[in-house]
Amino acid sequence: MTRTLDADVILQHATPKQERNGHEIQPFGHLVRMPIALGEKVCRESVESLNQLLADSATLRDLYKKHHWQVSGPTFYPLHLLFDKHYEEQVALVDSIAERIQSLGGVSLAMPADLAEATLIPRPPKGREAVETQLSRLLHAHEVLLEEARTMARAAAERGDDGTNDLIVSDIIRTNEQQVWFVSQHLVDAP
């Protein structure tokens, strides 16, 4: 006989009540001053931009996993592998973006509901789609992300935030451009 415990009962035994109901030590939107030779306004603007890129990168990451699970047809195996590879690359980008936000003294978005509220990438249907639709959906998501990343990279450079600019250009833009190339080749008709 299996016995299930209510989540509150488990949590009650695992941690003291005061810890579960404690206050935030840094509310979202508030900065902690970090000794990185950047002003508060610069850090705040970069944190806001990076949280947008975080939401969109996490959405793209999850879109790759959705398609990895749901792809079908004659190209199943190579796309299944490609989607998983791109998913893992997006996982690394999401982590880098969140860590940059923290290094600027900000708080990164973290929970799926918060990321879903912030993303600019359209939500896909729950069901399985045709391969061409999956590929087109991924390319559109990349385009949304790349368009904003380019704007944010220029703004970071103008603010003198070289670390954020470098992350966006060297990691986010380059990775997403390469992923676009790989995905788009599956939509090209061979001679």
Specify the CATH number for the domain of residue 60: 1.20.1260.10
Give residue 10's pLDDT. 44
Domain membership flag for residue 17: no
Q: How far is CA 162 from CA 15, 21, 91, 99, 159, in A?
A: 42, 39, 23, 15, 8
Burial class (CB in 10 A: 0-12, 13-18, 19+), 14: exposed
User: Domains in the chain: how many in total?
Assistant: 1
Kindly state the DSSP code that residue 123 receives in the 8-state scheme.
Answer: P
* 8 Å CB contact between 152 and 53: yes
Domain membership flag for residue 58: yes
100 or 1, greater pLDDT: 100
Q: How confident is the model at residue 27 (pLDDT cuts 50, 70, 90)?
A: confident
Domain membership flag for residue 160: yes
Summarize pLDDT for 118-170 with one digit per residue, the tens: 999 999 999 999 999 999 999 999 999 999 999 999 999 999 999 999 999 99
Domain membership flag for residue 168: yes
Domain membership flag for residue 23: no
Domain membership flag for residue 21: no
Distance CA 96, CA 80 (A): 25
Report the greatest alpha carbon distance in the chain.
67
